[in-house]
């Protein structure tokens, strides 16, 4: 750490630039990407940038305060389509790559998203929210006044609910709109609706000949009771839909091989419910035969890294190479994500691994090269060209001013062996301006999921606590991704058991290993599952001076019925539903142990959190307050479960300030 750099503050989150979605140009000589920043504390803005591989000058292609994302080049590279909110909702826009103003392509009432070109450049396929009786040939985006009128009209009538899946944290209360796949003729602007049924369709890919659309959906009669989804091949000419998958499972990120003869996808069969490791499948488009390429692997495919500054989406695979012999993908292992490749002959190779976070990549089919998006604990994001010798050449210099001015601390990796011989990985960050011989308080951070992973990525909250003078400890207890199937499954049916002992033994290990940690000044915090564990900890030990529980679970009995996932998550994680054995759910509910809580507890919760609804925080607060415990409740207006990651910027800052305030007061 450079001594001349100042310490981080909560307001510095306003100055971060977050990169995502790298895309090679069709000739492979340049690439584009999305840069997301915060606009005046109120909202986010995303701009499109173009950069040649021959220089480091990124050229902005958009300049407004809107969200411009998902740029995709036409096959000849002369045009590009992207989605933008400049008209109000996300709509599709077309731009000539040699310059000029963008032309609006769609004015759909509820927006249009995720455009993809056919290989001949004649059509664009995209997704749009539609009601059953919507006419796609007569679509106009609503004005602000029209939207307000509809909103007011809804408030005059009760909401009639007749489905199990009637709400979600991302969307709020569901309505009759469904995501459909639309095809647009780029020459005359005419549109054709390719899907019709009363369900949501997730576009996956279009075949190289442009005749078949690859779609993910659940078309079963019991779809409202299921979490599975299948892959379908839709023949555009005949409208015939052929089911590709045969097993009950979840399949996604599917793509055609360059010759259209095969399909690669991620998926799994729920063998371990939500703890099931993802597999890599190949389907033969003629015989529909399914092959699993990852049978002997024991790690998670895709990106399972948790952070609080990852805005925007990026490709994680599976992605075919130019001749269809090899597939590229990201893998999650031991606190890092890596770039792998697998040949159809099953020859598997790690192309890039350097103990950091590969959050996305793009592949150039012309020159057979790759650009990686990488984040480290001290660098939010940058893009790199992967050279033939598998070394990296840095292409961008994102957040240079921030990194020049502010000190970010590099974590130390720990491995802790528990009493039952389970190895737990963790990290420790030393405080800003660390001085040998001085004692420091320590904060334990616990991630959500529980099937997710802490690791070597940029994490603003962790860096902020280190800047405030705390040692920061964070771990991957049993149940975390990045390890083998047994480990990821190990916390199910045992919440508050082995996982609790893992984090507590990690604390004891750190205190014994590092003499600069003041064992009498410890704090703990976590969100979602980490909030549950924080609640559990303060009900079972008094070793922490203060705790901050975020978007937490306190009562599994009520969680079953109020959470958007409660009705299945309870069975997945605990092995029973509410009526099977309510006493067992009460035994593992932190609320039961409220009378034993002596640790000052700050409860942070979003008002619109449907994943871990605010009544979970409210029950805990009222119970502790009634017991005259030291507790405080902070409710964030209009915030859902994603408050810490993509919530309103001013609310994210407020949240960070409350965390720092509580620990400063009590630790």
- DSSP class of residue 475? E
Alpha carbon 106 to chain centroid distance? Answer: 28
Contact indicator for 81, 124 with CB cutoff of 8 Å? yes
Is there a cis peptide before residue 120, judged by omega within 30 degrees of 0? no
Closest by CA position to 532, among listed 616, 472, 652: 616
Q: Is the dihedral of CA 480, 482, 483, 485 positive or negative?
A: positive
What gap in Å lies between CA 31 and CA 5, rounded to an integer?
33
> Distance between CA atoms of 482 and 426, rounded to whole angstroms?
12
Token output for 80 = 């590009």
Backbone angles phi, psi at 542, to 5 degrees: -110, 25
Distance, CA of 96 to CA of 419 (rounded, Å): 63
Would you say 204 and 231 are in contact if contact means Cβ atoms under 8 Å apart? yes
Of the candidates 414, 446, 447, the one whose C-alpha atom is nearest the C-alpha of residue 428 is: 414
- Burial track 501-534 (b if 16+ CB lie within 10 A, e otherwise): bbbbbbbebbbeebeebbeebbbbbbbbbbbbbb
CA atoms within 13 A on the CB side of 58: 18
> Cβ of 88: how many Cβ atoms within 10 Å?
14
Cα-to-chain-centroid distance, residue 104: 29
3-state secondary structure at position 553? coil
Alpha-helix residue ranges (DSSP H) falling in 389-489: 400-405, 460-467, 485-489
From first CA to last CA, the distance across the chain in angstroms is: 25
Are 533 and 506 within 8 A, CB to CB? no
Instruction: Give the H or E element holding residue 557.
Output: helix 556-562
Catalytic residue at 641?
Answer: yes
Out of 501, 574, 641, 658, pick the active-site residue: 641
Residue 60 CB-density burial (10 A; 0-12 exposed, 13-18 middle, 19+ buried): exposed
Question: CA-based Rg of the chain, rounded to a whole angstrom?
Answer: 25
Q: Determine contact, residues 328/351, Cβ cutoff 8 Å.
A: yes
**Phi, psi dihedral angles at 149 (to 5 degrees):** -65, -45
Annotated catalytic, 528? yes
| Contact present, 607 and 638 (Cβ < 8 Å) | yes
Sign for the CA dihedral angle at 240, 243, 244, 250 comes to: positive
> What is the rounded CA–CA span in Å between residue 661 and residue 654?
10
Query: Taking Cα atoms as reference points, which of 14, 34, 33, 13 lies closest to residue 23?
Result: 33
* Among 259, 275, 268, 320, residue whose Cα is nearest residue 290: 268
Tell me which of 127, 375, 528, 552 is the catalytic residue: 528
SS3 label, residue 547: strand
CA distance 173 to 163: 11
Please list the active-site residues: 528, 641
């Amino acid at each position: 750490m450079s001594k001349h750099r100042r310490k981080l503050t909560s307001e510095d989150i306003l100055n971060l630039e977050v990169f995502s979605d790298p895309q090679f140009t069709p000739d492979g000589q340049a690439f584009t990407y999305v840069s997301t920043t915060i606009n005046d504390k109120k909202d986010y803005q995303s701009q499109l940038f173009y950069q040649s591989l021959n220089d480091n000058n990124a050229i902005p292609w958009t300049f407004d305060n809107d969200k411009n994302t998902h740029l995709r080049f036409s096959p000849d590279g002369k045009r590009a389509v992207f989605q933008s909110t400049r008209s109000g909702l996300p709509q599709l826009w077309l731009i000539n790559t040699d310059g000029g103003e963008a032309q609006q392509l769609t004015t759909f009432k509820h927006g249009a998203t995720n455009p993809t070109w056919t290989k001949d450049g004649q059509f664009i396929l995209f997704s749009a929210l539609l009601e059953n009786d919507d006419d796609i040939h007569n679509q106009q985006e609503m004005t602000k006044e029209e939207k307000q009128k509809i909103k007011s009209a809804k408030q005059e009538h009760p909401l009639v609910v007749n489905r199990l899946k009637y709400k979600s944290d991302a969307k709020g209360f569901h309505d009759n709109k469904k995501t459909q796949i639309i095809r647009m003729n780029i020459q005359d602007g005419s549109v054709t609706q390719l899907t019709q049924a009363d369900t949501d369709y997730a576009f996956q890919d279009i075949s190289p000949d442009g005749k078949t659309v690859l779609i993910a959906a659940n078309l079963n009669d019991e779809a409202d009771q299921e979490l599975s989804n299948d892959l379908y091949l839709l023949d555009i000419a005949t409208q015939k839909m052929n089911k590709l998958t045969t097993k009950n499972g979840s399949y996604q990120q599917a793509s055609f091989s360059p010759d259209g003869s095969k399909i690669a996808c991620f998926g799994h069969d729920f063998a371990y419910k939500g703890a099931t490791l993802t597999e890599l499948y190949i389907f033969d488009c003629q015989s529909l035969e399914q092959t699993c390429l990852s049978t002997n692997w024991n790690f998670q495919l895709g990106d399972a890294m948790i952070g609080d500054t990852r805005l925007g989406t990026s490709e994680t695979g599976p992605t075919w190479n130019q001749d269809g012999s090899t597939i590229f993908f990201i893998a999650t292992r031991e606190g890092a994500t890596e770039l792998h490749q697998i040949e159809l002959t099953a020859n598997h190779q790690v192309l890039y691994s350097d103990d950091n976070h590969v959050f996305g990549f793009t592949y150039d089919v012309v020159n057979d090269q790759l650009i990686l998006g990488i984040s480290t604990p001290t660098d939010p994001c940058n893009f790199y060209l992967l050279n033939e010798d598998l070394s990296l050449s840095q292409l961008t210099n994102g957040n240079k001013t921030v990194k020049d001015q502010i000190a970010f601390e590099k974590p130390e990796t720990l491995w802790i062996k528990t009493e039952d011989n389970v190895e737990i990985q963790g990290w420790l960050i030393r405080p800003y301006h660390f001085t040998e011989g001085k004692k420091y308080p320590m904060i334990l951070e616990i991630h959500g999921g529980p099937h997710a992973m802490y690791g070597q990525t940029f994490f603003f909250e962790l860096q902020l606590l280190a800047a405030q003078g705390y040692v920061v400890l964070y771990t991957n207890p049993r149940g975390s991704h990045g390890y083998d199937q047994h480990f990821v499954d190990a916390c199910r049916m045992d919440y508050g058991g082995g996982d609790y002992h893992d984090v507590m033994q990690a604390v004891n290990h750190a205190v014994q290993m590092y003499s600069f940690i003041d064992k009498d000044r410890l704090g703990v915090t976590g969100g979602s599952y980490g909030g549950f564990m924080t609640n559990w900890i303060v009900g079972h030990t008094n070793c922490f001076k203060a705790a901050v529980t975020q978007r937490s679970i306190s009562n599994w009995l009520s969680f079953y019925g109020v959470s958007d996932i409660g009705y299945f998550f309870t069975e997945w994680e605990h092995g029973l539903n509410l009526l099977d054995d309510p006493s067992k759910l009460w035994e593992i509910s932190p609320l039961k142990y409220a009378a034993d809580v002596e640790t000052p507890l700050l409860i942070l919760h979003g008002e619109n959190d449907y994943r871990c609804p605010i009544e979970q925080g409210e029950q805990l607060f009222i119970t502790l307050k009634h017991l005259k415990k030291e507790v405080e409740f902070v409710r964030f207006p209009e915030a859902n479960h994603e408050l810490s990651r993509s919530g309103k910027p001013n609310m994210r800052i407020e949240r960070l300030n409350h965390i720092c305030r509580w620990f400063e007061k009590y630790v």
